[in-house]
Amino acid sequence: MSAYGSPLLETPHLDSIAARGVRFDRAYCTNPICAPSRASILTGLFSQGHGIMDNVARFDGSQMTFPKVFQSHGYRTALFGKWHLKSDPTGFDHWAVLPGQGHYYNPDFRVMGKQSRVEGHSTELITNMAIDWLATPRPKEPFLLLLQYKAPHRNWLPAPEYQNKFQGETLPVPETLFDDYATRSDAARQQEMSIERDLHPFYDLKRASAESDDGLSRSMNQILKRMTPGQREAWRATYAEENAAFDRQPPVGDDLVRWNYQRYIKDYLRCVAAVDDGVGRVLEVLEASGQLENTLVVYTSDQGFYLGEHGWFDKRFLYEESSRMPLVMSYPRLIPAGEVNTSLIQNIDFGPTLLAAAGLPELPGAHGRSFWKLAQGHTDPAPRDAIYGHYFEYPGVHAVKRHYGIRTQRYKLIHFYYDIDAWELYDLEEDPHELNNLIDHPEYGTVRRELEMRLRELQDRYGDDPEEFRRGLNPEEVEHDARGARVEFLEPPTRDYGAEASQVLTDGRVRSASRHAPRVLRGWLGFRKNDAHFTLDLGEAKRLEQVSIHVLQDRMSWIYLPSTVIASGSTDGVEFVEFGRITPTASSEDGSLEWLATPGPAQPVRFVRIHAKCLEKIPTGQPGAGERAWVFIDEVSVREAP
């Protein structure tokens, strides 16, 4: 946004909101990734409060959200565009959302539960839907409209009328494009969002042959098939000349990085230009109908994004570029024009602020608080002295390590954990680009200790316990008589959760419960909508006293205890005799783990077969209702009779 001083693109319509009102320069998200941030905006809660730790979990729509408060107080409510929370929206009188991440070209829309494809580009289509809804005459009825564009999300497919913008130009590169991460932890080096090596040549850079057979190439081909012939022809023509020049003399080294950057940033900015124009059309409609002066207009995003800084694209880190959010607001009756505010605020504050602006009750149980007085130019009587953030999605796409941190007006402290244990400390006044990690500098020892203390206070306040993850990552060692046993799967585990499968089941390491994103805990086997069915070879026949399994439940992630667990024994691995059957029960609502014991057989057995049956239908009212569940299993413990 040029309102924030960007030299890359003029955004006059977005800037007009700031010019008529206030620009916030220190607004931050709590978890810099799409779905968790959107859930935090809706609920006013951190991830551990609303249950969306990553982009995989399904949002529980029964939670209280700020649109529900508006709706219950007579506001007409609507949502158009990107939703990305898997469950259907609640709290809206009308909604039309993109399924999942959605498509740029000829996207499908779910409109009040019914899905159909619409020809056109998503940015224009979403704008049209919002304008059509605003045009419905309801003179005495206040409204709340959430207009949520897909753009400029990866893979940056601008509409035809924007495809030639910047053609032939060379845009300026960021100062840190060739950052070497010299003082930082391995987290900065081991990410997979590098402009040099991680932008896909076809899917992202629109360069490689469409004949490539990897997953992203196949995805891009499906996108092209979705286009009409005219759209596809215009799309190919945009890149043809530059691609031909590339093929004649491929750049290498730093020149390749610069080439990748130019292709990436131009497509990104083309998408932003369309968003700016879409916002301008909405503002024009409000002005023409006489509503602009009487409407609180807010523009923001779900997190920041790397536009080449540190050599990256995407987001996820708690560094400034990805955790800081654009936020501009205008309401001529109460917000002075041209204000700039540098107070620390977070996305959990957005809902409480909108409700306060409307004079409505507070959002029940919210972690956030209203900054409405700040928006009006008043002084905050109790200014926030620090903000807290926590990123959870690792292992996962882009390989950004799990980490949590605190930011004050001057300093930032981050702790990377899971398969790493690294701290980083930055003096943002002296080092705004966060290039110089001061964690071991003696002169910052007092600052570090104070930040660590404040960090623990915020974790306690918001109910976030990173040690819960550490307990899951430092499993309990148990001795039993199947340690190291060979495992044969009758039903293979799901690929993403099946690494080192046999070792997981018989390594003698028991992982503890965690209601936070169990899907990414190492040491678990996941069976997606399928039974867990496998045989252990104990090596020799033994009389068994007990066979147990370790299972997991997390309803937000569609993970349920098996409906039935059957244990059978055999001496030859061919003929099996059932010797135990259990219906598992949970000890708590979510994140439950139990040892489930079965009585041993009277006769010695060499082979033990476990069949954990998947729940056929998730109950009504639960995330994924009507679908088959997942089964997640850790250790299988076998104890020989004395």
CATH number at residue 151: 3.40.720.10
Same domain, 265 and 279: yes
CATH number at residue 440: 3.30.1120.10
Q: With bands split at pLDDT 50, 70 and 90, how would you rate the model's confidence at 603? A: confident
Nearest Cα to Cα of residue 14 among 177, 151, 202: 151
487 alpha carbon, distance to own chain's centre = 35
Nearest Cα to Cα of residue 483 among 506, 504, 502: 506
Q: With bands split at pLDDT 50, 70 and 90, how would you rate the model's confidence at 474? A: low
* Residue that is last in its domain, among 327, 356, 388: 388
Encoded tokens for 196: 């040099």
CATH number at residue 482: 2.60.120.260
Mean pLDDT of all residues in the chain?
90
Q: With bands split at pLDDT 50, 70 and 90, how would you rate the model's confidence at 552? A: confident
Same domain, 148 and 267: yes
Same domain, 607 and 618: yes
Report the distance separating Cα 112 and Cα 128, nearest Å: 17
Query: Is residue 597 over pLDDT 70?
Result: no
Same domain, 561 and 504: yes
Encoded tokens for 504: 């997981």
Count of the separate structural domains present in the chain: 3
- pLDDT of the residue at 590: 42
**What is 59-106 written as a DSSP string?**
P-TTS--HHHHHHHTT-EEEEEEE--SSSPP-S-SEEEEESTT--SBS
b/e burial code for range 232-244 (CB count within 10 A of at least 16 → b): eebbeebbeebbe
Pairing of strands 143-148, 76-82: parallel
* Residue that is last in its domain, among 422, 442, 470: 470
Q: Is residue 207 a part of any domain in this protein?
A: no
Q: Which of 374-378, 431-435, 600-604 has the lowest mean pLDDT?
A: 600-604
Report the distance separating Cα 489 and Cα 39, nearest Å: 38
- The residue written with tokens 């080294």 in the block is 253
Same domain, 341 and 453: no
Q: Is residue 213 a part of any domain in this protein?
A: no
* HSE-CB for 363 with a 13 A CA cutoff: 30
Q: How far is CA 120 from CA 83, 106, 124, 158, 600, in A?
A: 19, 5, 7, 11, 64
Same domain, 431 and 543: no
pTM for the predicted model, two decimal places = 0.80
Same domain, 36 and 144: yes
Report the distance separating Cα 120 and Cα 7, nearest Å: 30
Q: Is residue 545 a part of any domain in this protein?
A: yes
* Residue that is last in its domain, among 353, 373, 388: 388
- pLDDT of the residue at 598: 63
Query: Is residue 3 over pLDDT 90?
Result: yes
Mean pLDDT of 387-393: 95
Same domain, 456 and 511: no
Same domain, 437 and 357: no
Report the distance separating Cα 609 and Cα 616, nearest Å: 21
Q: Is residue 240 a part of any domain in this protein?
A: no
Name the residue range of residue 99's domain.
2-196+253-388
Residue 461 CB-density burial (10 A; 0-12 exposed, 13-18 middle, 19+ buried): exposed
Report the distance separating Cα 412 and Cα 403, nearest Å: 13
Digit-coded pLDDT (tens) for 119-171: 999 999 999 999 999 988 776 789 999 999 999 999 999 999 999 999 999 99
Give residue 316's region: left, alpha or beta (phi > 0; psi -120 to 50): left
Q: Is residue 224 a part of any domain in this protein?
A: no
Q: Is residue 95 a part of any domain in this protein?
A: yes
Same domain, 89 and 119: yes
Digit-coded pLDDT (tens) for 13-65: 999 999 999 999 999 999 999 999 999 999 999 998 998 988 878 899 999 99
Same domain, 161 and 270: yes
Same domain, 425 and 520: no
